[in-house]
Amino acid sequence: MTSLLDGPKRLVSRSLDLSDLIEALGRASQAARGRLDDSVVDHAEATRDRVAQRLGLTAGHTVVAIAGATGSGKSSTFNALAGVELAAVGVRRPTTSWATACVWGADGAGELLGYLGIAPRHQIMRDSLLDLGKEDRALQGVVLLDLPDHDSTEVSHHLEVDRLIRLTDLMVWVLDPQKYADAAVHNRYLAPLATHQAVMLVVLNHVDEVPDDRRQSMLDDIRRLLDDDGLDRVPLMATSARTGEGIDALRYAVAERVRAKKVTRARLEADLRSAARQLSDATGTGGHPKLSKERIAALEGAFADAAGVPTVVAAVESAMRIRGRRATGWPVTSWLSRLRPDPLRRLHLDLGKEGSLLTGRGRTSVPSATPVERARVDAEVRALADEVSAPLSRPWADSVRRASVARIPDLGDRLDAALGETDVGTGRMPVWAGFVRMLQWLLLVVALAGLGWSAVLLSDPWFGVGRPDTPDVEGFPVPVILLLGGVLLGLLLALLGRFLVSATARSRARAADRRLRSAIASVAEELVVTPVRAELAAYDTVREGLARALK
């Protein structure tokens, strides 16, 4: 048979420090706020606050409430326990509308009665009475509450019962032979209190009205119903408030629990654990994978394409080619390339700070993402959210998805700004280009000198006759060597320059690609990855808090 103390002992022996539990539940509910249903989070927070408040009150008193249907004999049981007619017992139902409190040992109980919201006119102080008997000694430190009925047509009665049941340390449920199977009490009160078995007693009152040969089967029936409610460890007792049968045993059971001074803690602990359990049911227990590098890389790739990174990189390469050729080509032909527009400037990139200020443009002119690119961005964001949220419960998976897209409306502007702010590295030409340029001009000057000299010779009246004083090398006149050599070397140098410029353009394009992609990666990190990680971190915080609270 279940001993009366089984419950509280078991609970308390494995109990954490209650303040640890309060803290763990508080952290979990804070992290769950906005992610789980508000009503569950509100309940957890209200429970935590109430428990914290109750813990702050005197530990010297234990609140014991007598609850049950109208006419079950709550007020009579209250009087029988007290050994005095304190509460009104009536023939007309319902009789009790407001809870009455009887306090044994009034010292320091004021605050607790205030917390319970019992008006002074409904308070009875037992040590202010002179006839203290053995009942009173047994119940020292008890605040006994006679509650209104829970099945009344009076709404105020339910509210009062519900309110006080929440604040009570030990509950005595009074059933009577007629209504013990009523769904109202089982569904509304008993079954939901399955987490609170350790702080409950159930009494079948009016047993004097049950024939002896039917008592046991009735008690068995009630036991079965209680087991079905999940209250298999709750003690069940038989009493008659009229004849006094079983009342001493009930008083003893109550007194025993109160003396152990553990019901208050057990009740508060049960409240915290039950709120934690509800949060946990809503949260689920699944783990989640970390965001994989590959997923993030795929997202960055989609962002980079949508931002037009390949367009910009191609523009960097061709701009570098054009500028390089301009700088290193044969001066006579390279000016022609000036007629071609600069691809970077056409995109309104690489204007420098002053340039952008002058044009007054907030945006680059990189073509905006195509519908296909945008669809890919959406698909990658979804895939990333799905990857980590797949094992999570619905509300958490939803909140991860919400977080993943919450900042997507900013994406276009942010990607464009990232392109605009990235130094694509086309500003200066390499040093060798300067030398080549100098050499080109030198060769041009040489060629022009050769040309001039040759022109002078051609215009000479002696032309054709040959001037013996024209210097020559191996029979070739120096002016011709200068002219042809200058032009040929210039063209050759231009060719070599072209080759070097191509290599430079390619490496600059690669560098630009790296820088642009890293700028895009920061945008992806800020707009998607960080918000998703924040949800996962919140989930982990909730799970950790609940794991501690439910340990």
Ligand X SMILES: Nc1nc2c(ncn2[C@@H]2O[C@H](COP(=O)(O)OP(=O)(O)OP(=O)(O)O)[C@@H](O)[C@H]2O)c(=O)[nH]1
Q: What does 180-231 look like in DSSP terms, one character per residue?
A: TT-HHHIIIIIGGGGGGGGGEEEEE--GGGS-HHHHHHHHHHHHHHHHHHT-
Could you say whether residue 242 binds ligand X (CB under 6 A)?
yes
Sign for the CA dihedral angle at 471, 473, 479, 480 comes to positive
Could you say whether residue 76 binds Mg ion (CB under 5 A)?
no
Residue 541: HSE in the Cβ half-sphere, 13 Å Cα cutoff: 17
Under 8 Å between Cβ of 236 and 202: yes
Binding flags for ligand X, 96-115, as an x/- string (CB under 6 A): x-------------------
Cis peptide before 94 (omega within 30 of 0): yes
Answer for which of 15, 62, 72, 504 binds ligand X (CB under 6 A) is 72
Could you say whether residue 246 binds ligand X (CB under 6 A)?
no
Could you say whether residue 244 binds ligand X (CB under 6 A)?
no
Q: Please state the closest distance from residue 73 (CB atom) to ligand X, in A.
A: 3
How far apart are alpha carbons 531 and 494 in whole angstroms?
53
Answer for which of 168, 205, 280, 389 binds ligand X (CB under 6 A) is 205
Among ligand X, Mg ion, none, partner that 73 touches (CB below 5 to 8 angstroms by kind): ligand X
Collapsing DSSP states into helix, strand and coil, what is residue 33?
Answer: coil
Q: Please state the closest distance from residue 79 (CB atom) to ligand X, in A.
A: 8
- CA distances 371 to 405, 406, 412, Å, are 17, 20, 13
Binding flags for Mg ion, 27-66, as an x/- string (CB under 5 A): ----------------------------------------
Q: What does 480-538 look like in DSSP terms, one character per residue?
A: HHHHHHHHHHHHHHHHHHHHHHHHHHHHHHHHHHHHHHHHHHHHHIIIIIHHHHHHHHH
Answer for which of 6, 208, 221, 525 binds ligand X (CB under 6 A) is 208
Among ligand X, Mg ion, none, partner that 72 touches (CB below 5 to 8 angstroms by kind): ligand X
Q: Please state the closest distance from residue 233 (CB atom) to ligand X, in A.
A: 25
Could you say whether residue 74 binds ligand X (CB under 6 A)?
yes
Q: Please state the closest distance from residue 77 (CB atom) to ligand X, in A.
A: 7
Please report where in the chains the tokens 């068995």 appear, as a residue: 220
Q: Please state the closest distance from residue 152 (CB atom) to Mg ion, in A.
A: 11
Q: Which is nearer to ligand X, 73 or 141 (CB)?
A: 73
Residue range at the interface with Mg ion (CB under 5 A); choices 89-97, 327-335, 409-417, 432-440 = 89-97
Q: At what angle do helices 394-406 and 530-549 cross, to 10 degrees?
A: 150
Under 8 Å between Cβ of 311 and 369: no
Among Mg ion, ligand X, none, partner that 414 touches (CB below 5 to 8 angstroms by kind): none
Amino acid at position 513, single letter = D
Under 8 Å between Cβ of 341 and 365: no
Could you say whether residue 356 binds Mg ion (CB under 5 A)?
no
Q: Which is nearer to ligand X, 159 or 379 (CB)?
A: 159
Answer for which of 24, 241, 369, 549 binds ligand X (CB under 6 A) is 241
DSSP annotation of 128: G
Under 8 Å between Cβ of 483 and 451: yes
For residue 354, the tally of other CB atoms under 10 A from its CB is: 8
Answer for which of 76, 328, 389, 454 binds ligand X (CB under 6 A) is 76
Could you say whether residue 98 binds Mg ion (CB under 5 A)?
no
Under 8 Å between Cβ of 315 and 485: no
Among Mg ion, ligand X, none, partner that 149 touches (CB below 5 to 8 angstroms by kind): ligand X
Q: If 0-12 CB within 10 Å is exposed, 13-18 middle and 19+ buried, where does residue 417 land?
A: middle
Could you say whether residue 507 binds ligand X (CB under 6 A)?
no
Could you say whether residue 9 binds ligand X (CB under 6 A)?
no
Q: Which is nearer to ligand X, 105 or 177 (CB)?
A: 177
Closest alpha carbon to 404 in 291, 289, 283, 304: 291
Could you say whether residue 364 binds ligand X (CB under 6 A)?
no
Residue range at the interface with ligand X (CB under 6 A); choices 238-246, 291-299, 390-398, 494-502 = 238-246
Q: Please state the closest distance from residue 151 (CB atom) to ligand X, in A.
A: 9
Answer for which of 29, 62, 75, 280 binds ligand X (CB under 6 A) is 75
How far apart are alpha carbons 171 and 194 in whole angstroms?
12
Answer for which of 30, 95, 507, 522 binds Mg ion (CB under 5 A) is 95
Q: Which is nearer to ligand X, 241 or 487 (CB)?
A: 241
For residue 453, the tally of other CB atoms under 10 A from its CB is: 18
Residues found near ligand X in the complex (CB under 6 A):
68, 70-76, 89-91, 93-96, 148-149, 205-206, 208-209, 240-242
Residues that bind Mg ion in the complex, under the rule CB under 5 A: 74-75, 95-96
